[in-house]
Amino acid sequence: MSLVEQIEQLKLEVASTQLNSADEVEAFRVKYLGRKGILNDLFEAFKAIPNEEKKAVGAVMNGLKTSVQEKIDEGSLQFKSNKGDVEVPDFTRPYGEWTHGSRHPLQLVREEILSIFERMGFSVEDGPEIEDDWHVFSGLNFSPEHPARDMQDTFFVEGQPDTVLRTHTSSVQVRVMETTKPPIRIVMPGRVYRNEAISSRAHCQFHQIEGLYIDEGVSFADMKQVLQMFTEAFFGKAKIRLRPSYFPFTEPSAEMDVYWGLETPADHRITKGTGWLEIMGCGMVDPNVLAASGIDPEKYSGFAFGMGIERIAMLRYGVDDLRHFFENDMRFLNQFKKTI
């Protein structure tokens, strides 16, 4: 008997089958559609037939499967109706109503910051958290004796002295500069790791967002304008200042402060009575960094900036202790339900 003949005979058998209870419906389903059922055996036999016959045989097999499913659906509906459509409740389910979860405040702040820079034409880039020395340090103009390379500041992978957990998302900048021809306009969010177990409030993992813009004729004034626009969009604050600072990968470098004000006791506390609050570091990309990644510093210039998401979130939501973000305390997280 050919395979087609077997299938046609099974179709007649299915059509003549009478199902008289829910148990019989289930037994019928297992017989034909179960893992060791008839249709599974037919499919194994189907694999062995010549390719030129598969189209015709496949159509017959699909007809059989449809007949089986229709018989099961018909029986299921019939015996459900016979019970008056009353479904037996699942007594193993948890009691009470299901409650909605909440977005984590760090994720909310991350998305808002990225949204602001995306509207200014920046694209989002990502990179590995386990990195090599070049992308974390050497490609960013860190000298061999720079203290950031020490074990006290960096997590090294055991047995691989040139492999580290990245200490900043600036490593993504290097990867993009190595593979992309300017203009480059990117923001890079991600986790970073530092060996800072120096107090009860210290953490080894943080979240950063950094930005990079490289093109012909990019100036310090361009950087200030971009950061001004971000500050107004995120904080609603219009007054900023740039203080001289030092970073190995930018020259000149600056710390950006926003004028927070002195309207409340909390303002006095967090600004230490000055009204000014440090938000991020920034500066013009050092020509050595451009050259190390294969970008001509005579033709191109750029600026970079970076901020900690935890710090920004603490300011946005008035959180006074960094540890709240990592303890998964439902009393804390439930406060952010309204921002879903």
**pLDDT of 177:** 93
Residue 199: the pLDDT is: 47
Going from the C-alpha of 277 to that of each of 105, 123, 223, 224, 307, the distances in angstroms are: 21, 27, 19, 16, 13
Q: How many domains does the chain have?
A: 2
109 and 230 within one domain = yes
The string of pLDDT tens digits covering residues 190-210 is 998 887 654 444 568 889 999
Q: Is residue 86 part of a domain?
A: no
Would you give the DSSP letter of residue 149? Answer: G
Q: What is the model's pLDDT at position 33?
A: 87
Instruction: Among 81, 115, 135, identify where a domain stops.
Output: 81
Q: What CATH number did the domain enclosing 167 receive?
A: 3.30.930.10
Domain that holds residue 168: 105-339
CB-based contacts of 21, cutoff 8 Å, min separation 6: 79
Residue 183 DSSP class: P
In a domain, 47, yes or no: yes
What does pTM read for this prediction?
Answer: 0.65
Residues of the chain with pLDDT under 50: 198-201, 339-340
In a domain, 332, yes or no: yes
Residue 73 sits in the same domain as residue 124: no
pLDDT for position 82: 52
Q: Answer yes or no: do 71 and 130 share one domain.
A: no
| Beta strand extents in 260-339 (DSSP E only) | 276-285, 301-308
pLDDT value of residue 116: 95
pLDDT tens track for 303-338: 999 999 999 998 888 888 888 888 888 888 888 876
Q: Of 184, 188, 177, whose CA–CA distance to 129 is shortest? A: 188
Does 98 map to a domain?
Answer: no
Judgement on whether residues 267 and 320 belong to the same structural domain of the protein: yes
pLDDT score of 335: 83
- Kindly state whether residues 26 and 167 are assigned to the same domain: no
Do 183 and 312 belong to one domain?
A: yes
